[in-house]
């Protein structure tokens, strides 16, 4: 009897949690720009070996396949130069 109560509580809790997950509706059609749309373009394939097979671009040269080397580096401007003193 003592082992039955925890099992029942676990079963009731798991049932309540699983019932809460099913209340969302899925749209019938997705927007053309959505990645889920059947008409969407394929995602570009990144070359993971670009750092091993080519030299990095010099400053001012086009970055090409070197992602993350854009002029701004993809980071927001900080507005100052900080040193650790």
Give the tens place of pLDDT for each residue, 6-63: 888 888 888 887 777 666 676 677 777 777 777 778 877 878 888 888 888 888 888 8
Q: What is the pLDDT of residue 47?
A: 80
Handedness of CA 72, 77, 80, 82 (dihedral sign): negative
- Other beta carbons less than 10 A from residue 50's beta carbon: 13
Q: What is the pLDDT of residue 76?
A: 56
Q: Is the pLDDT of residue 75 over 60?
A: no
Domain boundaries, the chain: 45-71
Q: What is the pLDDT of residue 3?
A: 63
């Amino acid at each position: 009897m003592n082992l039955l109560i925890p099992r029942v509580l676990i079963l009731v809790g798991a049932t309540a949690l699983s019932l809460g997950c099913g209340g969302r509706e899925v749209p019938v059609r997705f927007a053309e720009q959505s990645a889920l749309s059947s008409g969407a373009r394929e995602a570009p394939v990144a070359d993971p070996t670009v750092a091993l097979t080519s030299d990095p671009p010099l400053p001012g040269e086009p970055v090409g396949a070197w992602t993350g080397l854009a002029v701004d580096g993809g980071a927001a401007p900080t507005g100052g130069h900080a040193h650790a003193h």
